[in-house]
Structure 1
Amino acid sequence: MDAPQLMGLNLFELAFACVLGAIVGGLWVRGRLAAANAALQVQLDLASGQIVAERERLQADLDLERDRARQQVIDERSRADAQLAAERQRNAESLEQLQNAREGLTSQFEALSRELLEQRAQTFAQQNQTSLQALLEPLRQQIGEFKAKVEEVYVAEGKDRSALKQQVEELARLNQTLRADTVNLTEALRGSAKARGNWGELVLARVLEMAGLEQGVHYETQVSHTTAEGRLQPDVVIRLPESRHLVVDSKVSLVAWDAYHAATDDAGREAARRGHVDSVRSHIKGLAEKNYQQLYGLQSLDFVVMFVPIESAFLLAIDRDDRLFQEAWQRNVLLVSPSTLLFVVRIVAHLWRQAQQSRNAQEIADRGAALLDKFVGFTEALNSLGDKLGQAQGAYEQALTRFQGNGGLLRQTEMLRELGVRSAKPVPEGFAKRVEQQSMLLPADPAARSPDLS
């Protein structure tokens, strides 16, 4: 065989040999693997048996330990329950002791608070009573004096009104008396001018007295004055308030007036009437020329009062000549009769009363001002007292806060008692309760605790 054929045959044989070797090797390996698997299976079965046995042993141990732990837990729980019950019993006893101690402390503090509050209230009451009495006593006296003065003025006015009524009634009686006196005195006064003048002055003084004026106090008679023109002596000078003066002079005209009443016919009466008017006019002129109103300068009124003591003679002159009154006034002379003079002097008396009332009013005003000053001082003192009471209230509330607060005296004493500290002196009973009641009565708004007296 040539070389190529030989080479091809060798390669085939080599490949066949390789395949055969692979098959034989695979079979050997398979056998070896089967033997190994069998051995491994035996080992696996043996290990599985050991594992099962070990599991059973561990399960038994676990059950034993579980039972032991359960029993131990039960025992521990029983002991804990017993200890808890005992602790609760001890706590209940301690709480009861604490409650008893707190009640005792509260009672002691309450008694102490009550005593302090009663002492403070008594002290405040005494101080307030003393202060208010010292403030109100002058005010009470001022009010009493003011009331007495007002009542005095009221009584005086009532008396004046009653006196005025009596004077009016007296005036009516005076007119009747004057008419009778006129008839009775006519004959006596016809022939003597001096007698007529004295009678006129007497009637004038009587009218002044009826009006309530007093000689030497409200008027003077026959006051003599010496002037450049000579000696002047008016019948009456009436004093007025504010140092003023009013001159009154009496003039009696009886001759013509008597002739008028004695005349038997109209012509005679008319002639007597004209003569009477002329006589009155002559008196007016003579009185005006004396200038009595100039005697006291600016302190005198600017007119003189001419008094006609016979009412009917005055009316006859005025009725006959209605210009007579105006003429007299133009000469600064005021014509008056007993009735009209009474009203004039009543006006004077009224002026004096008004002056007195003005003085009383001024005194009342002064007393009122003093009373007002006292009242203002009283309100200021009362306001100051309110401020001091407010300060005392604030101090009391501050002390109360220090007593009742979380860190206050009450809590501190409770904590000391919890720690077993005992006091030799018991706290007054009900003190804390009383303080708590007092704090509940305090207003929430601090501004409302202070009295406002402004």
Structure 2
Amino acid sequence: MSSFPSIDLILAGLAGFIAGLLAAWPAVRSRIARAHADGRASRDAEIATLGGQRDAEARRAEEFAARIQRYEHEWTQAEQNLRKVTAHAAAQQAQAERLARDLADARRARDEAQAQLVDLTGRHAALEAGSAAQAHAAAEKLQLLEQAEVRLREAFQNLAQGILDDKAERLREQSGQQLSGLLDPFREQLKQFRETVEQRHASDQRERGMLAQEIQSLRQLNQRISEDALNLTRALKGDTRAQGAWGELVLERVLEASGLAEGREFELQVVMADEDGGRPRPDVIVHLPERKDLVIDAKVSLTAYERMQSATDEGERDALLREHVASVKRHVDSLSKKKYDSIPGLHTLDFVLLFVPIEAALIEAVRADDTLYTYALARNISLVCPSTLLATLRTVSHLWRLEDRNANAMEIAKRAGALHDSFVMLMSELQGIGDALARAQALHEGALKRIGSGRGHLLGRVDQLRRLGADARKQLSLLPDEAKSESEADENADDA
């Protein structure tokens, strides 16, 4: 008998082996299907995360567009108010000029009447004294009276003309100086108001253009920063100090892209002194309006994440991912103990921003531990990556622009108040001019009544010179009707 197994036994063994393979095939296929399903679920989750970020950016763009529309509406209202103020000011200036001319006419009439009253009163007294002393020589004095009338008329005309010219010149100078003193500040404030509104309009136009460009370049900048950070982190090969320096460099690039100004709106590596004698040095302090500060830390270690990217074994990758999550939590715990809010001179908010320079590193950590954000917020730490930090800093930059605009609006309101006060003063002066005109008119009418009313009034006595035979070629034009009637009655009585 041969020692080799028979062909039947070999065939039977092969049949059993094939049957075993066929029996195990469903299990193998199930494992392969599960592996594919796990990979597909991971990709779907990442796609959902990126979609959420995209929707957030779209909402932010809509908010910016709504703000731009509101600013355009405010600018339109400001232009309308400016046109109304300008038209009203022009009308008030024209009215002031008309009132000044009326005042000049009234003062000229008043001065003329007063001069006539004084001169005629003196002349009348002299004539009465002369007539009483020389009544017995009326014939001889007639010639003297005629000469006196001529001299009186000439003197009266010369005196009235001189007084009229002098008063008119003085009134013109005083009125011009008063109106210039009132209207020059008004014109200057109106000019400043117009320049402020035009500057604000130009600033709004520039900022709208900048905002559109920033929204367009936001995603491109975020993608470039993430790719650069990932490539350099892979090249660092676990050097923690080099990773920290790189994180600070990425943070500085994000700050530059945010539009904030160093020294005014943020500071780098500021050495401070706490209450315990320590000297903490925050990576970045971002200043907010109303004397508030925001601290940013960029010293998180990414060594485990870099090793995970280089690992090929799935089990090793899972272990390194857990180590990466633990490293982030350790840094959160360490950062929460620094108590930046207790440092004198630092008015920080209730939380600190922990900056992860590689966006994918933060996404992987949150995917592995979905409570990581809650864990950090419970310790007053907020986790941010380049895209979320850039959006936050852009918001801070926008808050600073709003603060500057509010300051400009307060200055405009202050100047508008001064403009209103000047306008009120102008109206008060115009009211005073009107009252002066009314008083001048009353004085003028009173003087005319005193000169030409009552028995033996002054105008009637002067006109008697003509009736006595004086060589008069003209008759007094200011003689009222009542005075004329009395003069005619006296003349008829003399004829009788």
TM surpasses 0.5: yes
Distance in 2 of aligned mates of 1:262 and 1:188: 11
Which of these residues, 377, 383, 400, is aligned with residue 425 of structure 2?
Answer: 377
TM-superposed CA distance for 1:306, in Å, is 0.8
Question: Is the contact made by 1:293 and 1:304 (CA closer than 8 Å) also made in structure 2?
Answer: no
Aligned to 1:168: 215
Q: Deviations over 1:198-246 (max 9, x none)?
A: 1111111111122222222222222223443744222112233344322
Which of these residues, 338, 342, 350, is aligned with residue 398 of structure 2?
Answer: 350
Distance in 1 of aligned mates of 2:169 and 2:418: 33
Find out whether 1:187 has 2:226 as its counterpart.
Answer: no
Residue type at the aligned position of 1:421: A
In the alignment, structure 1 segments of 5+ residues that lack a partner are 1-108, 437-454
Find out whether 1:200 has 2:270 as its counterpart.
Answer: no
Find out whether 1:292 has 2:340 as its counterpart.
Answer: yes
Question: Is the contact made by 2:308 and 2:321 (CA closer than 8 Å) also made in structure 1?
Answer: yes
* CA spacing shift, 1:383–1:156, aligned 2, 3 Å: same
| DSSP 3-state at the match of 1:246 | strand
* CA spacing shift, 1:390–1:258, aligned 2, 3 Å: same
* 1:13-412 superposed matches below 5 A: 127-227=174-274, 228=276, 230-262=278-310, 270-296=318-344, 299-401=347-449
Q: Deviations over 1:298-329 (max 9, x none)?
A: 72222211111112222333344332212211
Residue type at the aligned position of 1:192: D
Distance in 2 of aligned mates of 1:175 and 1:254: 19
Question: Is the contact made by 1:257 and 1:313 (CA closer than 8 Å) also made in structure 2?
Answer: yes
Distance in 2 of aligned mates of 1:125 and 1:237: 66
TM-superposed CA distance for 1:120, in Å, is 7.7
Residue type at the aligned position of 2:384: V
Coordinate RMSD, CA, aligned? 3.9
| DSSP 3-state at the match of 1:217 | coil
Distance in 2 of aligned mates of 1:400 and 1:113: 16
Aligned to 1:421: 470
Distance in 2 of aligned mates of 1:385 and 1:238: 59
Residue type at the aligned position of 2:438: G
* CA spacing shift, 1:225–1:363, aligned 2, 3 Å: same
Distance in 1 of aligned mates of 2:368 and 2:453: 108
Distance in 1 of aligned mates of 2:324 and 2:235: 19
Residue type at the aligned position of 1:422: D
Residue type at the aligned position of 2:470: V
Distance in 1 of aligned mates of 2:238 and 2:352: 27
TM-superposed CA distance for 1:406, in Å, is 8.3
Distance in 1 of aligned mates of 2:450 and 2:170: 23
TM-score by length of 1: 0.60
Question: Is the contact made by 2:273 and 2:343 (CA closer than 8 Å) also made in structure 1?
Answer: no
* CA spacing shift, 1:198–1:392, aligned 2, 3 Å: same
Task: Please identify the structure whose Cα radius of gyration is greater.
Answer: 1
